[in-house]
Amino acid sequence: MPYITKDLPYAYNALEPYIDAKTMEIHHDKHHAAYTSKLNAAVEKYPDLAKRSAEDLIANLSSVPQEARAAVRNNGGGHVNHEIFWSVLGKGKSKPEGDLAKAIDKTFGSFEKFKEEFSNAALTQFGSGWAWLIVKKDGTLAVTKTPNQDSPTAEDAAVQGAPILNLDVWEHAYYLKYQNRRPEYIDAFWSVINWDAVAKLYAAAKK
């Protein structure tokens, strides 16, 4: 199997009380694992695709044979988007520091303004999808949202860039604890961001 669901880098209960252990367990072990296994199934007949990273596949969907494209888009996106999500969650600093903090101030005016814009993207994504903070080709930051498991790295992304922070707003990400209260889940997210991890992704994207 070319693609694997890595273990979470922390315990299921590490993000309590903001994101509960049961949600983390089902989300990672069932939902993420299903995307990964369906991605493996989608590339089974295509050894050339299976040699490429999942990131490469979803950023270059036009190079994927038509009959496998939708499955790679949905399940490759599901796999990669969740890998990013687990990596940017954690407990630590409540705000970004250094170059990332400066770039956020420069683009959005302040951290509070950025929070507002990102939260609004998460709230207004109709149905399932993701909110994102990305680094665009010109090196500047932008907030965007995508439906389903679409990635901002895709060739047809409305706003294209390298993801450095994302938030899963599929109901499976919050329904057990928050039911229909997506705004409360979005609010809780700000207490469990690993800003050091986001800063590392930012530095890598700027290179």
Residues in touch with Mn ion (CB under 5 A): 168, 170, 173
The conformational region for residue 147 under phi > 0 = left, psi -120 to 50 = alpha, else beta, is: beta
Whose tokens are 């796999």? That residue is: 79
CB of residue 122 to Mn ion, shortest distance in Å: 13
Indicate the residue among 36 and 199 with the shorter CB distance to Mn ion.
36
Other C-beta atoms lying within 10 Å of the C-beta of residue 4: 11
Indicate the residue among 40 and 128 with the shorter CB distance to Mn ion.
128
Whose CB is nearest to Mn ion? 168
CB of residue 44 to Mn ion, shortest distance in Å: 23
CB of residue 192 to Mn ion, shortest distance in Å: 15
φ, ψ at 133 (rounded to 5°): -110, 125
Indicate the residue among 108 and 185 with the shorter CB distance to Mn ion.
185
CB contact at 8 A, 143 and 117:
yes
CB contact at 8 A, 22 and 176:
yes
CB of residue 66 to Mn ion, shortest distance in Å: 26
Indicate the residue among 150 and 168 with the shorter CB distance to Mn ion.
168
Indicate the residue among 88 and 173 with the shorter CB distance to Mn ion.
173
Query: Token digits for 107?
Result: 């683009």
Sort 105 into a burial class: Cβ within 10 Å, 0-12 / 13-18 / 19+.
middle
CB of residue 8 to Mn ion, shortest distance in Å: 13
